[in-house]
Structure 1
Amino acid sequence: MLFINTRPQDRAQELSHALRMAHIDVLDLPLLELLPQAWSADLSELYQQLPKAQVIVVVSPTAVQIGMEYLKLSDIKLDQLAHIQWIAVGERTAQALAQYGISAEVPQVETSEGMLQLPVLKTLKAGQCLAFWRGEGGRLFMMDQLKQQGMRILNFILYERRCPVFAQQYLDNILYLLEKQEQYAMVVSSEASWLNWIQLMQNQKQMIAKGHYLVLGERLYQVVSNYKKNQSTCFNITRLPDLNTDSILQKLVVVQGNT
């Protein structure tokens, strides 16, 4: 069975290597490309408010990289943020923060829902301030939930997310490869990745139906399930508890055993 690794290029290598070592064919096909947002007056104003925050939520290693670069531009020192609790969406983001001497809370499930279960967020009071270091379009559900609880949100849009040009340019090659598969498996780690896949595969309903989708978390599972229902199509979906290589390998062994 072909496995399509849709993770961003800088995060895909470990998984692809492990799968190939397990004799699984892999197509590296990132469905998200992250491009830095230009420094602006709006970002500068947000950074000046950052020391007032109680929590900073960081959603990716890319957000760490760009966020720290812009922190230097803002002339704010890390020791001015020593009172702040940092939250990382996953272990890799936490590792990126650790390079700056920052210890971050990490949820058991690397999703917005997982982060909302962290004790530090459950103990916040209405009116307290949270900052989000994120990409355009990401983590809206989490921010909306916290706003409804009366939290003040500093919304740092540090990068844009788009479907890589590569995926669009080589679509004919991708379709040719998929036509030869009875079934393929694909990891889907975000709603944006899923929507980009659906956009790429427009008018290719039979190709979508060949997929067995390994999706991260309950909310994304529901998004993909709703598409399946609304489009009256048939494919398999498996929930992933996290994006660890071992977790994906274990699920993939089960998928292969059922084919």
Structure 2
Amino acid sequence: MTRVWVSRPEAQARSTCAALVQLGLQPWSQPVMEIHPLAELAPANRTMVMDLDLYQVAIFISQNAVRHGVAAIEAFWPQVPLGVAFLAVGNATARALQQAGILAEAPQVAMDSEALLALPVLAEVEQQRIIIFKGVGGRTELADTLSARGARVDNCPLYERKACTEAATALAQSDFGLMPNDCTLAYSGESIQLIHTALQAAQRRELLARTTIVPGPRVAAIAQELGFSRVIQAQNATDPAMLAALAAVELRI
């Protein structure tokens, strides 16, 4: 039976693991990063949320951004202010917003910053105010590009991504990677880098040679640069897309 390493944080991994079981595969859930909400919003970020009605566009980078961003908004706004266009990087993030009562537009295929920037609503944003709900750090391309288009962009970090210190130990104590059909699901450039860091010397050669599913060309390029030799690109990081790519690999095995 093919074993599949699900490397995403535990809360997001549950649905993936359940879907893998339905496909007759054996999931191995071991996060390489953890999500930690900030203890409190910085004063400047608190002001951003209080001034939400002054923004023309609000962007949510991830489901975690929705979880913590909506909580921050609800602390100051009994109802979401009118006149703000809500955008999500992907469908899962848009669905999370919808569950919170907020309708959001999202790209339908690539589901990344580049696809979001291609949406018509972001084509002409000169002098518009845009708030981005996100984690600490991360890619800057979205904010940089919108600023270059003339927008006034404010980043509102809500949580931190930290490396899971148990990942390397758990991997060393397992036999994952020794079977030729073992496969890894990596969901971002940061996660593939953390997976590489977690590899012990004794396992590195085997795991680098196993199939690794990634969401798109940017993460694929990072994986290949790190030495992963069998990298398969999914259309995006959603369960349907990642599992479709995995199923295609399964058919060829």
Both structures adopt the same fold (TM-score exceeding 0.5):
yes
Partner of 2:230: 236
Listed as ranges, the matches of 1:23-62 within 5 Å are 23-39=24-40, 40-62=42-64
Identity %: 25
Partner of 1:149: 149
Q: Is contact 1:183-1:210 (8 Å) kept?
A: no
Once the two structures are overlaid, the 10-residue window that deviates more, 113-122 or 11-20, is 11-20
Q: Distance in 1 between matches of 2:240 and 2:67?
A: 26
User: 1:78 is paired with a residue of what secondary structure?
Assistant: coil
Partner of 1:206: 205
Q: Is contact 1:213-1:236 (8 Å) kept?
A: yes
Q: Is contact 1:53-1:129 (8 Å) kept?
A: yes
Q: Distance in 2 between matches of 1:214 and 1:156?
A: 30
Q: Is contact 2:214-2:233 (8 Å) kept?
A: yes
Partner of 1:227: 226
Q: Is contact 1:7-1:29 (8 Å) kept?
A: yes
Taking only aligned residues, the RMSD between alpha carbons, in angstroms, comes to 2.1
Give the partner amino acid of 1:22.
L
- Across the two proteins, how many residue pairs are aligned to each other? 249
Give, in angstroms, the shift of residue 227 of structure 1: 2.9
Q: Is contact 1:184-1:210 (8 Å) kept?
A: no
Give, in angstroms, the shift of residue 35 of structure 1: 0.6
Give, in angstroms, the shift of residue 183 of structure 1: 4.3
Q: Distance in 2 between matches of 1:69 and 1:252?
A: 35
Unmatched 5+ residue regions in structure 1? 229-233
Once the two structures are overlaid, the 10-residue window that deviates more, 183-192 or 127-136, is 183-192
Unmatched 5+ residue regions in structure 2? none
User: 2:137 is paired with a residue of what secondary structure?
Assistant: coil
Partner of 1:231: none
Q: Is contact 1:130-1:151 (8 Å) kept?
A: yes
Give the partner amino acid of 1:177.
F
Post-superposition, which runs of at least 4 consecutive aligned residues in structure 1 deviate over 4 A? Answer: none
Partner of 2:89: 89
Q: Distance in 1 between matches of 2:43 and 2:99?
A: 28
Change (3 A) 1:208 1:152: farther
Q: Distance in 1 between matches of 2:66 and 2:215?
A: 21
